[in-house]
Structure formats: structure tokens, C-alpha cells
Structure 1
Amino acid sequence: MKTLEMCLAGAQVLMPDGLMTQPVSLAEGLVVDETLVREVDLTGYIILPGIVDAHGDGFERHLAPRRGAMKNLDQGLIAAEAELAANGITTATLAQFYSWEGGMRGPEFAGRVLDGLAKIRGQVETDMQVQLRFETPMLEDYDAVAQLIAEHGIGYVVFNDHLPHEALEKGKRPPRLTGQALRIGRNPEKHLEMMQAMHARRAEVGPAVDRLCADLARRGVLMGSHDDRSAAERGDWRARGVGIAEFPETLEAAEVARAGGDAIIMGAPNVVRGGSHNGNVSAIEMVMMGLVDALASDYHYPSLRRAAFLLADSGVVDLAGAWALISGGPARVLGLSDRGTLTPGKRADLVILEAATRRVAATISGGRISYMAGDVAARFVG
């Protein structure tokens, strides 16, 4: 596929040392260190590295805009890619559940999403990757999930456990159970029985996870844990080769992750809101303490860009450091050494913002335009 070959001149460019006024040349899908004949004047704009999202489930809204309307997943994924590009995201990690919760989180739906993504990959410019979020209490599904990971070449698996163990241990009916069951078309009593059965076998989960992690590690699959609450919990995951701590809920878990050399991902909405909506540890405080390697969109794609500027404007970190949390940082966490900065030899992944408004004017992924709107289009076309 043909890529852009041009020199973008006149803009402020975010380099590792900060904003500089210098040209950025693109050729053969890469940032190159040479002068090209075709020049586009981008005076009044800012060029920054393309955003790398390490975890986001905002795409779900495009797959099921109304309850039950989930027929054409490939078209929904194409619509999701348009939203990603409009928010400056050039690499997106789609966080897809494989869960006992059913519906859009169920195993069958996960398979459909993976099939749909394989179908549309050649039709989109954004690098759309997958993170499979596996619910560990699903003891009957370990072989099936391992096969799914292998068949689709999934390179990133995160382990979750959303069973309400405390309520089940006390013999209580978990809150919101009836609504949850009816939403996915399941009898509430059957839903409760399933949850109770999984809870009763919780002692078997640890050994099953050990075996799966060992298998995935041999295959080179990246692994993360989700919502760690304690030092012991994070330590257990690290011992299994699970080196990413996603959204740790406590400072204790984050500090032991950092001490052990684990990567830490927090949610950009946590930064934008000024704190967690669940009352967990503040992402801003963790950034200030040097405990965050990457910010992820979580459930809201626009929050990535907003979080970076909020951190820079408030003086928590400089702009280069703040933007690295949504570009170079997540690229390193995901093992994507070919992107995350605008240095020569890297993928031509970049976002162009209006300097005055910070609106996304254009997004270029792999040297191809994935989004462009407004006055900047006339400069490229002209």
C-alpha cells in the first residue's frame, strides 16, 4: 500500500526533549532523516507521536449500539476504528472479555469479535491489536481459551476475577444479579447457581492459572493482572511470569509492582476525573510518585489526550513526559519498539493538533492518513 512521502514543516514537534520547531519527513511508512521534495506547511499546528492505547473497551459501543443489536461486528469494528483515529490513536489494544458473565463478555462473542477483526484488518489504518481478558474462575474453559489464543495469535492476555466471592461466601445473593442475568438472557437462578459452583471450586483456580501462565510464557505471550489489591497478590502474579499490573487498586500493590520491575498501567479517565470512580488509588498521585508506565483509555478514548495535557498543564510532569505516558510508555509495555517517538527509523505514527485548540486535525498511522478534518486538509491537498 502506498504511504505518504513528504516533509511536514513549520509545526512545533514533540521530541523526547520537548517541543521544537523542526521538519518531520515521512517515507515508506517511517519517519526518515532526509529532506523530501514535497513539503506541507503546518505552521500553527503541533505534531506529536501517535497515541498507543494499551487497554480500551470503548469499541463495545460500536458493536452493540442497542441491546441485542450485534449482527455486523465487522462494520462495528470499522466504526470503532474511525473513533480511534479521530482521537489520535494509532495503535489500539481492544480489551475483549472471555467471561462467565455472558453476552458481550461471553466466550462466543469473543470469538466473533476476533473473527470480525481478522476480516477488517486490511480495511483500516489503525493498528488494532487484542488483549484477551480471561476470567480465571472458568475452570472448564482453560483448554478452550488456550486454543483461542493460539488460533488467533493473541499476544496479550490479562487475568481477571469478577466473581463476588465475599457475597457468595456469606451465602448472600450478589447485588445486581437479576438485572445482569436478564440482560444476557439467562435465568437469574441458573446464573446464581453457576456463580456458586465456580466459587465452590476456587481452590482449584491457582494451579490451573499456574499451568496456563507457564504455557503462555513458553509461547511468548505478554501477560497482565487486573485490579491488584495487595503486595501478596502482585507477588503471586509476578511469580507466574505475569509482568504487567493493570489498574492496581492500592498504593501498596503499585509500589511492590515498581519494586519488582513490573510495568504499571493506569486509566486516563482516572486522571481526567481527578480520581477513581470506585474510590481506588489516584492515578495523578501515582504519576507524581513515578509509579505509572502507561495510561490507557479504559472506557473513554478522548481521555488519553486530555489526561496528557492535564498532567502537563498542572506541572505534574512536562509535556514530553506526559505524552510519553500515552505513546512511548505504552509502546514499551507492549513490546512495540518500532513506535512511540518521532525519531528517524520509527513507524510514521503521528497526530497533528491545532495549536490553539488542541483539537485533533489529522492522524497518520504507518504513514497513511487514518483521520483528517478541517483546514489542515487543504494544506495536504494543496
Structure 2
Amino acid sequence: MSETTTLEQPRAWSLPHSPRDYVLGHVRAVLPDRVLDDARIVVRDGRIAEIGVGRPGTRVDVDGGGLFCLPGLVDVHSDGLERERLPRPGAELPWMFSMMSFEGKLRAAGVTTVFHGASFSDRQAAKDGRSVHSAMQMCGAVADWNARAVDGQLVDHRVLHRLDVRSRPGLVALQRHLDALAAAGTISAERPAVISHEDHTPGIGQYADRTFYETYVAGTSGISQDEARARVDALLIEREGNLPVREESMDWLARQSGTGRVRIFGHDPESAVEIADLARRGGDVAEFPTTVEAAREARSRGMSVVMGGPNILRGRSHSGNVSGRELAERGLVTALASDYLPSSLLGAVFTLAGAQVMSLPDAAALVTSGPATAVGLADRGALEPGHRADLVLVGLEHTCPVVRAVLRAH
């Protein structure tokens, strides 16, 4: 590049496509162990080749104007795409439009790798669009989007396969889907599929206090609390009858973990016993643990612990479970996921650093190297030589982080 580009406008910015070779200068580089002021980052063939202090008189291709430079964010659990496609009940939008629209939000949040939650479940299809059919449609949409991607696409789209362990249709469909991916060579030890198994039966997990679930049902369905209570009673009867499916699902997941081509998340674990069972079945990640006990046991076993960015921002769980901020203060969180709000990731980073819960590099690791580790991606998540040059430039407005630029390796 022959001209210096200065990033001074208060807006998100990106090149039409990120070049494979360039020099970025005058940034505050958030390294794994420190913030390096007036840093110079050399990119060669889409990889970070060198990081150091800027050299006086040396010309750079892109002038960062003193902005923070972080690795591209890795979001291991996003439900945003299904919300983008179904902004309100009955108002489905085309999948390709939804992908395009949501990618804009991901770019604005600094997310360069995202795992879209595809819910293999038949429990809530009538209320929020989640079903085996919509899960397969989402998987197909992500595959189609990636196949059509132009050179320089700024977001790496992947799938988090969410399995309702009490749904036989969900289990059968996911088994077939993973068999097809394996046969096509799409998944492997180097590029593992990611499965999060969940059991949202009222009275356990996220809704250990079933009254929170009754309130949720009443609010989303527009019914009275008494009607919601009756609906939950009926759901409990149905779910209890599906216990054999749960055991079949868990045994199948254990076998998949043994192949090395699948990483297993345990969703909403609430006890040390559940974590021990997750470990026995080859689980890698405790996703949204609902208690300190579960998070502590997961860390003692070397598992990743993922919490929600919105939980950190709010300082508490929306369903009455443990506060993500409390777990972070105890050193029990290794990664954050957006859950339903991409902008919450950077917001949580600067909230934790601003409150001196942890340093900025440690907080940034929760949305970069931490989630990359959780999903087995060793080529990204840190500003280090050899890593992908997925870079995000961030400024602050009214103490809130704002993404000014995204450059992603290709």
C-alpha cells in the first residue's frame, strides 16, 4: 500500500477486503500480558509476523490513531441469527438476508469468528421458531453463505449444534447431520464440530426455580401466570417421559467425543456431580454454569468455563442463577459468549477492566483466546506472531467501547 490511512472518524471502518501484507502502526496493542503503546504490527500473508514498538520515521500502511488493537473476537454461542431471522413471531425473513443483516452487527461488535446456535429441539417450535427443521435450515444457510463468500469476508461463520437431550427428533437429526459432515470431510480433529447438550426441563439447570420459567412462558406467550403454570405442569409430564432419550443422547455424545472430531459443551451445569459426569463423557466446556460449585469443579478439572456477556454487563443472571461477574471475580471464567447480544462482548471486557476486576489483557482474553481454546481453534485469539491477523481497532466513547475498524485474515 502506498498511502497512509488514518482512522479518526467515529464510525466502524473496514477495507473492501483486508490485504494479506501490510503494516499497522500507532495502536495500543492488547497483548496477552500487557498493553503495548504506540505499537507496530507487521502482517505478512494474512498472519502476524512481528509486533513491537513503532520506529520513528518509519512509514506504516494503516495508522491506528492511538486506538486499542485487539485480536478479532471469537463468539462461541450466539443466538442472534435466529432472532435476526425471526424478529417477531410469525415474521420470518429470508435466511440469506438474515445472514447479511446479522453479519453487519457482528462486524460492528468486532466479532470475526462466530458460532451460531442451531437448536436441535422440538419442544419450543410453536413459540420461538426452534425446531429440527429450522436448525437444519440454519446449518444450510451458514454453509451456503460460506460457499458464496467473496475474498475478504470479515466474519468466519460456524455452527454451535445445540442438542435438547430429551428430544428424539433432535437426536436423530443431529446424528444424521454429523454423519453427513464426517462423510464429506467437513469435520475433523483439526476442525471439530461443536455440540452443546442442554436440558431445559423446568426445575433443573437454567430454570432450577421453575417460577422463573413460568414467568418467561407467560411473558413470551401472552398468557396469565396461572395458564403458564398449567402449561409448565404439562411440559414436566412430557419431559419426564423422555428420560430414556436423555440417556441415549448422553451415551451418543460420549462416543462422539471419543472420535476427537467433536467438542462437547455441557449447558447450564448446576453441580459438581454434573461436571464430573460431563468429564466422564469427554466434555470439554462448562457453558453457563448456574452455580459457583459447578464453575469451581469445572476449573479444577481443567475445563473451559463460558459465561454470558449480558450477565457480566447486568451484574446478574436474568433467571436468578449465579452472577457471571461474581465468577469472574473468583477467577472461574475463561471465556464469554454473546448469547443474544454481540455488543455485550466488548462491553463486558471494558466493564471488567474498568471495575479493576482484572487487567485489560486478562479481560480481553475472555473474548479472544479463551473462547478460541474452548472450541479448539489454535490459530487465532491472540496478538502473537504466527496467529491469524484478525484485528479489531477500538475506541472509547462515554467510557463505552466502539469498534472503528475490522481487518480479518483471508
TM-score (structure 2 length as normaliser)? 0.79
Shift of 1:3: 2.9
Query: Is 1:87–1:360's contact at 8 Å kept on the other side of the alignment?
Result: yes
How many angstroms does 1:204 deviate by?
A: 4.8
Residue of structure 2 in register with 1:78 after alignment: 100
Which residue identity is paired with 1:11?
V
Instruction: Please tell me whether the aligned partners of residues 163 and 196 of structure 2 are also in contact (alpha carbons under 8 angstroms).
Output: yes
Runs of 5+ consecutive residues of structure 2 not aligned to the other structure: 1-16, 188-192, 205-212
Provide the C-alpha distance between the structure 1 equivalents of 2:63 and 2:405, rounded to a whole number of angstroms. 14
Structure 1 residue 13 corresponds to structure 2 residue 56: no
> Which residue number corresponds to residue 118 of structure 1?
143
Q: Structure 1 residues 194-203 or 321-330, which shifts more?
A: 194-203
Equivalent AA in structure 2 for residue 135 of structure 1? D
Amino acid aligned to 1:128: H
Residue 132 of structure 1 and its aligned partner are, at CA, apart by 0.9
In structure 2, relative to structure 1, the CA distance for the partners of 1:220 and 1:42 (3 Å cut) is: same
Residues 23 and 42 of structure 2 are in contact (CA less than 8 Å); yes or no, is this contact kept in structure 1?
A: yes
Q: Which residue of 1 aligns with 2:48?
A: 31
Counterpart residue number, 1:130: 159
Whether contact under 8 Å (1:177, 1:192) holds in the other structure is no
Q: Hey, what does 2:406 align to over in structure 1?
A: 363
Cα gap change, 1:180 to 1:352, in 2 (>3 Å): closer
Counterpart in the other structure of 1:312 = 353
Match of 2:198 in 1: 160
SS at match of 2:129: helix
- Structure 1 residues 262 and 352: CA distance shift in structure 2, 3 A: same
Deviation at 1:302, TM superposition (A): 0.8
RMSD across aligned C-alpha pairs, in angstroms? 2.9
2:323 match = 282
Q: Which amino acid aligns with 1:315?
A: Q
188-197 vs 318-327, which deviates more?
188-197
Letter in 2 for 1:110: A
Q: Which is further off, 157-166 or 41-50?
A: 157-166
Q: Which of 130, 133, 158 is the equivalent residue of 1:108?
A: 133
Gap change, CA 1:356 and 1:80, over 3 Å in 2: closer
The equivalent residue for 2:5 is: none
Residue identity (%):
32
CA separation in 2, counterparts of 1:178 and 1:17? 47
Does the 8 A contact of 1:338 with 1:347 survive in 2? yes
AA of the residue aligned to 2:201: L
Change (3 A) 1:11 1:230: same
Q: Secondary structure at the match of 2:378?
A: coil
Instruction: State the match for 2:172 in structure 1.
Output: 143
Q: 1:342 aligns with which of 375, 383, 386?
A: 383
Q: How does 1:1-382 map to 2 (within 5 A)?
A: 3-20=19-36, 21-33=38-50, 39-100=61-122, 101-102=124-125, 104-121=129-146, 122-123=149-150, 124-152=153-181, 153=186, 155-164=193-202, 175=214, 196-354=237-395, 358-366=401-409
Structure 1 residues 327 and 68, CA, compared in 2 at 3 Å: closer, same or farther?
same
Task: Give the partner amino acid of 2:389.
Answer: A
User: How far did 1:40 drift?
Assistant: 2.0
How far is the alpha carbon of 1:179 from its aligned partner? 8.3
The 2-side partners of 1:212 and 1:44 are apart by: 47
Q: Give the aligned residue type for 2:325.
A: I
Residues 307 and 193 of structure 1: CA distance in aligned 2, closer, same or farther (over 3 Å): closer
Change (3 A) 1:84 1:177: closer
TM-score, normalization by structure 1: 0.85
Distance 1:88 1:178, change over 3 A: closer
Structure-2 separation of matches of 1:279 and 1:296: 18
Q: CA deviation at 1:71?
A: 4.6
CA contact (8 A) 1:295 1:325 kept: yes
The 1:246/1:10 distance shift into structure 2, 3 A limit, reads same
Q: Distance in 1 between matches of 2:39 and 2:231?
A: 63
Q: Residue 331 of structure 1 aligns to which amino acid in structure 2?
A: A
Cα displacement (A) at 1:219? 4.9
CA distance in 1, matches of 2:233, 2:333: 37
Once the two structures are overlaid, the 10-residue window that deviates more, 264-273 or 132-141, is 132-141
Describe the shift of the 1:29–1:217 C-alpha distance in structure 2 as closer, same or farther (beyond 3 A).
Answer: same
Q: Whole-Å Cα distance in 2 between the matches of residues 63 and 303 of structure 1?
A: 20
Secondary structure of the residue that 2:321 maps to in structure 1?
coil
Separation of aligned partners in 1, 2:404 and 2:222: 43
| 2:207 aligned residue | none
Offset from partner CA, 1:96-145 (integer Å, 9 cap, x none): 21112215210000111111111111244201111011101113543321
Deviates more, 1:92-101 or 1:203-212: 203-212
Do the aligned residues in 1 keep the contact of 2:120 with 2:163 (CA within 8 Å)?
Answer: yes
Unaligned runs of 5+ in 1: 167-173, 368-382
| Larger mean Cα displacement after TM superposition, 202-211 or 226-235 | 202-211
